[in-house]
Structure 1
Amino acid sequence: MTRLQKFIRVLPFLGLFILFSLVLYGLHLGIFKSPVLLKNFIHQFGQWAILVFILLQIVQVVIPILPGGISSVAGMLMFGNIYGLIYSYIGLIIGEVLAFLLVRHYGKGFVKAILSPKKYEEFTDLVGTNDEKKIQKLLIWTLLIPFAPDDIVCLVAGMTDISFTKFLRIILLLKPWSIGVYSYIMVYLFEHHPF
């Protein structure tokens, strides 16, 4: 194996290490407690702010570090309602796909590593549903109902027989609705009852 091949193999791990370091730094600073603090933190990155925001959205699906909706509100505050939703959509779709594929590859061990014991219990209750049509309906309903645990259902989908194509089609079509309704409700709550 050449040095270049070794470097290419190490590159994803290096990227994850840098990203997790940024997340830990953000936790230390307390930026995940409020949309305004998160917005101010991401704005520091200047022209890279959009990329940092999208990466944050990806990470928060796979490793739930944020209270629900804070990042979407921050995105709308930073980039405006339309662009904030678009950037949230891009990051969350990539995150959902990544989570699905990681669960499909590593199984329950991966899920146990990223979820709290309470969330893991919810996950195991849902995994009993291996019927493809039932999991499709469950995924559709959790994406249509604001504040439903769609991230957990995406993890569950990775443990079932649903095809990746069907999973992708459902989240691509319904995630904009889910993000839009959820984000606008959170922005309204934030504006009328600041965190």
Structure 2
Amino acid sequence: MDYANYTDVFLNFVEKIGPIAGIILPVIEAFLPVLPLVGFVIINVAVFGFFMGYLYSWIGNCLGSFLLFMLIRKIGGKKIENKIEKSKYKGTLEKIRRKNLTVLFFLYCFPFTPSFLISGTAALTNMNTQQFILALLPSKFVMILSLAFIGQNVSSYFENPAKSLFFIVFILAVNFISKYFIKKYEEYHRKV
């Protein structure tokens, strides 16, 4: 069986299960950050169409991040705190500890920031649940919408290689730009 057959089997499986699969996949990704959120959004858009695929992905990703936030808040966790302390995002994550919702919002907007660490840090700060949701919902709205737009156009990438190249350059540019702004933000607030 080749790769295309595996893909068809998986897409058919998701389609048979329906919206529950579309929501559960991003929930699982919130707990297992090695899984590709962009892949799950593309699958949802391919199976359920742009709007419903986007909606299921957004609900699932928000639900997963919220459940992770609540779980870490309940159990705490020195292991998670140590992982955060060793992270390259330590300075920015320190801002979250100070309950800076703007930083939380912007970090969640970027698809390449580790959502697991962001939710974990927010939970360990004892951030108010309402504040967390206030930052989570609109930021994930923006992030998942950009991924859904990519997912909507994914089939045309194989037919038009130039579009594929543009997509790769766009993703890399967003990644570098987001890292640049996060670095500048951290530098500015270290001086203040």
Q: TM-score w.r.t. structure 1 length? A: 0.65
1:95 pairs with 2:60: no
Task: State the shift of 1:156 in Å.
Answer: 1.3
Instruction: Report the aligned-residue RMSD.
Output: 3.5
* Cα distance change of structure 1 residues 144 and 57 upon mapping to structure 2, 3 Å threshold: closer
Task: State the shift of 1:151 in Å.
Answer: 3.9
| TM alignment of 1:100-115, pairs within 5 A | 100-109=69-78, 111=80
Gap regions ≥5 residues in structure 1: 1-28
* Cα distance change of structure 1 residues 143 and 45 upon mapping to structure 2, 3 Å threshold: closer
Task: State the shift of 1:174 in Å.
Answer: 2.5
Distance 1:46 1:141 in 2: 33
Gap regions ≥5 residues in structure 2: 158-163, 166-192
Distance 1:164 1:30 in 2: 46
1:132 pairs with 2:99: yes
Task: State the shift of 1:38 in Å.
Answer: 5.3
Distance 1:121 1:191 in 2: 40
- Number of corresponding residues: 157
Q: Percent identity?
A: 19
Native 8 Å contact 2:14 2:22 kept in 1: no
Distance 1:53 1:109 in 2: 33
1:75 pairs with 2:40: no
Distance 2:39 2:66 in 1: 21
Q: Secondary structure at the match of 1:132?
A: coil
Distance 2:85 2:8 in 1: 30
Task: Tell me what 1:14 maps to.
Answer: none
The residue type paired with residue 107 of structure 2 is T
